[in-house]
């Protein structure tokens, strides 16, 4: 008799659990679909919104990942961010900052990397990148490492442009370039003699 009395309660309990479970599944899939729609809408309208949500620290960690695809993607995102107007202007100004040698070296290195892309060159030139690099090159306080990094950026910016090549003379870079070449040739000769 006890089994007969609890059977209807058991059946109704199972039915309630079934309905509750199905409701959770339905609501969960509905919520997931809405999140996917929102994500797709934000990515379709502007994929940079997604990329801008990733912190610089996280991108830095991704560039050191063992996964080469992640490294390349993170590096590209960093370069894209660097080419934003306000960021590029800050980089150019940092090249002119003589008080912090490490920041100056990082800024010149970044300009050199950015200038390797043909699409970036006009924007870098408009922001005064060539003048900033010229300042680093002719600055007597700049060390050889900074000057070497700077030369790479300068040559990438003047490559295939006679107008930009004229800037070598206009900005007074030729004597500095000749001096660096002499130092590098001398150092190379010394290394060959010592080996």
Total Cβ atoms within 10 A of residue 171: 17
Total Cβ atoms within 10 A of residue 17: 10
Instruction: Tell me the per-residue pLDDT of 9-43, one tens digit each, with 9 for 90 and over.
Output: 656 777 777 777 777 676 666 666 766 676 666 55
Determine if the pTM surpasses 0.75. no
54 domain residue, yes or no: no
- pLDDT at residue 19, as a whole number: 74
Total Cβ atoms within 10 A of residue 166: 11
94 domain residue, yes or no: yes
31 domain residue, yes or no: no
49 domain residue, yes or no: no
Residue 89 sits in a domain of what CATH number? 1.25.10.10
- Local structure of residue 97 (DSSP, 8 states): -
- pLDDT at residue 88, as a whole number: 94
Residue span of the structural domain in which 151 resides: 83-194
186 domain residue, yes or no: yes
- pLDDT at residue 9, as a whole number: 62
Residues (pLDDT < 50) of the chain are: 1-2
117 domain residue, yes or no: yes
- pLDDT at residue 1, as a whole number: 46
118 domain residue, yes or no: yes
Contact 171, 134 (CB under 8 A): yes
Total Cβ atoms within 10 A of residue 40: 10
- pLDDT at residue 61, as a whole number: 84
Instruction: Tell me the per-residue pLDDT of 169-181, one tens digit each, with 9 for 90 and over.
Output: 888 888 888 888 8
75 domain residue, yes or no: no
- Report the number of distinct structural domains present in the chain: 1
Total Cβ atoms within 10 A of residue 101: 14
- pLDDT at residue 128, as a whole number: 93
């Amino acid at each position: 008799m006890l089994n007969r009395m609890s059977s209807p309660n058991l059946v109704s309990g199972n039915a309630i659990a079934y309905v509750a479970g199905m409701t959770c599944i339905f609501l969960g899939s509905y919520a997931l679909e809405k999140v996917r729609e929102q994500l797709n809408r934000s990515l379709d309208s502007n994929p940079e919104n997604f990329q801008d949500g990733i912190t610089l620290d996280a991108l830095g960690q991704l560039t050191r990942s063992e996964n080469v695809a992640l490294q390349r993607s993170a590096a590209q995102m960093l370069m894209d961010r660097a080419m934003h107007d306000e960021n590029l202007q800050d980089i150019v100004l940092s090249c002119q900052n003589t008080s912090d040698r490490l920041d100056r070296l990082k800024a010149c290195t970044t300009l050199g990397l950015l200038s390797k892309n043909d699409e970036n060159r006009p924007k870098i030139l408009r922001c005064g990148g060539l003048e900033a690099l010229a300042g680093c090159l002719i600055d007597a306080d700049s060390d050889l490492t900074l000057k070497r990094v700077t030369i790479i950026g300068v040559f990438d910016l003047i490559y295939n442009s006679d107008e930009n090549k004229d800037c070598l003379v206009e900005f007074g870079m030729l004597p500095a370039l000749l001096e660096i070449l002499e130092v590098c040739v001398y150092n190379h000769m010394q290394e060959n003699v010592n080996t």
